[in-house]
């Protein structure tokens, strides 16, 4: 075969590869009927829905959940960084749920990690915060006694832990995109990019949230949220890692017991703020 023939074959193969790369799944009648851009958007939307449906199936099966938790707050404007480590416990029985987060250590900037105990207990109605450094206890009512909330809905008001509740809530609060993973070794997580909607309950707290789902358990593994700010330098960055999960394993009853140590003052009680009826 002469050089011209070889070159011709090479050109044909090259253009074929380029067409495949650009078109992706948008080929044939679908691309012709909807246009390439609309087709790509449709394929992406279907991929997101597939991920959300799998996530929904996993969370519906969840009865108990426990893991190690790492919570890092980065504040570029102040060149500040703090990292808390501890454990998270969750239990759901029928319509009632409980959640406890125990932080045991704190590392600030370049300082050494030190013992620093804080506890957050959610029971669907009350959030109890126990600060062992200040020896203070705060009990904040977050729901009516006759209408307890799902605790993961409540915890998101204090920490951006999302993805454990109904996926309808994610659709309602965010514009969701599936992030393409880099080629190479097999991916262990699926990443979603969540842009906060203008009317979202998170609109005053976060601008965007990146959210990783573990491929094995298909439950949240990592969340990175960026606060609302005028520039990226002013954005606070909240990163939460959920490590070594144990799913649907029996939890001891004492896990959700609230114990107040010696030397603590009386708990500060903050009742639920009543909504003012419209005039």
Q: Are residues 213 and 103 in the same domain?
A: yes
Domain limits at 214? 63-270
**Residue 279 confidence (pLDDT) above 80:** no
Q: Are residues 20 and 76 in the same domain?
A: no
Q: Are residues 24 and 90 in the same domain?
A: no
Element (H, E) at 110: none
pLDDT tens for each residue of 243-260: 999 999 999 989 999 999
Q: Are residues 130 and 206 in the same domain?
A: yes
Q: Where does residue 222 rank: exposed (0-12), middle (13-18), buried (19+ CB within 10 A)? A: middle
Q: Do residues 97 and 63 touch, judged by C-beta distance below 8 A?
A: no
Q: Are residues 39 and 106 in the same domain?
A: no
The length of the chain, given as a count of residues: 279
pLDDT tens for each residue of 5-56: 333 333 323 333 333 434 455 655 555 655 777 777 788 889 999 999 999 9
DSSP readout, 129-149?
A: EEETTTTEEEEEE-S-TTSPP
pLDDT tens for each residue of 191-233: 999 999 999 999 999 999 999 999 999 999 999 999 998 888 8
**Residue 60 confidence (pLDDT) above 50:** yes
């Amino acid at each position: 075969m002469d050089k011209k023939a070889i070159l011709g074959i090479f050109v044909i193969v090259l253009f074929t590869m380029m067409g495949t790369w650009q078109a992706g799944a948008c080929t044939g009648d679908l691309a012709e009927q909807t246009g390439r851009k609309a087709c790509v958007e449709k394929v992406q939307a279907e991929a997101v829905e597939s991920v959300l449906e799998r996530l929904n199936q996993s969370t519906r099966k969840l009865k108990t959940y426990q893991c190690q938790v790492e919570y890092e707050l980065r504040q570029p404007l102040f060149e500040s960084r703090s990292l808390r480590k501890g454990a998270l416990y969750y239990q759901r029985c029928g319509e009632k749920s409980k959640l406890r987060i125990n932080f045991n250590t704190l590392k600030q900037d370049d300082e050494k990690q030190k013992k620093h105990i804080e506890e957050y207990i959610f029971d669907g109605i009350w959030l109890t915060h126990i600060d062992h450094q200040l020896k203070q206890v705060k009990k904040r009512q977050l729901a009516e006694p006759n209408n307890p909330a799902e605790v993961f809905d409540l915890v998101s008001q204090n920490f951006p832990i999302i993805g454990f509740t109904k996926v309808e809530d994610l659709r309602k609060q965010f514009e969701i995109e599936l992030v393409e993973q880099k080629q190479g070794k097999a991916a262990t997580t699926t990443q979603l990019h969540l842009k906060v909607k203008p009317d979202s309950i998170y609109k005053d707290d976060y601008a965007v949230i990146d959210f990783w789902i573990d491929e094995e358990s298909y439950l949240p593994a990592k969340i990175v949220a960026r606060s609302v700010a005028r520039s990226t330098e002013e954005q606070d960055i909240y990163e939460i890692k959920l490590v070594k999960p144990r799913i649907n394993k029996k939890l001891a009853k004492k896990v959700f017991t609230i114990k107040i140590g010696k030397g603590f003052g009386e708990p500060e009680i903050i009742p639920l703020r009543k909504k003012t009826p419209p005039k």
